[in-house]
Amino acid sequence: MSDVKRWEPENTFLGYNMRPDAEGSFVLHDAYAKLEAEAQALREEVAALRARVVVVPDECPHLIMFDDADVKPIMFAGCGARRAALAKWEQVSINWNAHLFVRIEKNCRDDRYPCATLAAAPAQGGSAHE
């Protein structure tokens, strides 16, 4: 967001004066219009991002990594990988600082497992996370 100068009324014996104040309650109208346009652009950007969902195929490789270097990572791939990874992550994250990752890009041309992708949100309200 833009940096705009804020103002606060100051009571003097001659009346009110406006003085610059970082915590001020007022901004010039031109500055407000600029902030309003920026806020609208941000709202539109958020709406566009919310219209996309991550599609994760069931066979997509998942990886559980631990903050503790002594604990080895756990890899899931193939049929039922998503459900197994989610179940295991829920189990181990109770006692460990565990992070669940999903693959979004292949690093080998011989790899036959699909990757997670971004897609448009379903129109009927169906879930892409099942």
Judged against a pLDDT cut of 80, whether residue 38 lies above it is answered with: yes
Model-wide pTM > 0.85? no
**Whether residue 66 is found in the same domain as residue 107:** yes
Judged against a pLDDT cut of 60, whether residue 32 lies above it is answered with: yes
Judged against a pLDDT cut of 70, whether residue 102 lies above it is answered with: yes
Instruction: List the one residue out of 43, 45, 84 whose CA is nearest residue 63.
Output: 84
**Whether residue 44 is found in the same domain as residue 11:** yes
**Whether residue 38 is found in the same domain as residue 75:** no
129 is a domain residue: no
CA distances from 96 to 68, 78, 86, 91 (A): 8, 25, 15, 9
What is the predicted pLDDT for the residue at 72? 92
Domain that holds residue 24: 6-50
- Number of structural domains the chain divides into: 2
88 is a domain residue: yes
- Give the residue with greater pLDDT, 74 vs 9: 74
Judged against a pLDDT cut of 70, whether residue 5 lies above it is answered with: yes
Judged against a pLDDT cut of 50, whether residue 130 lies above it is answered with: no
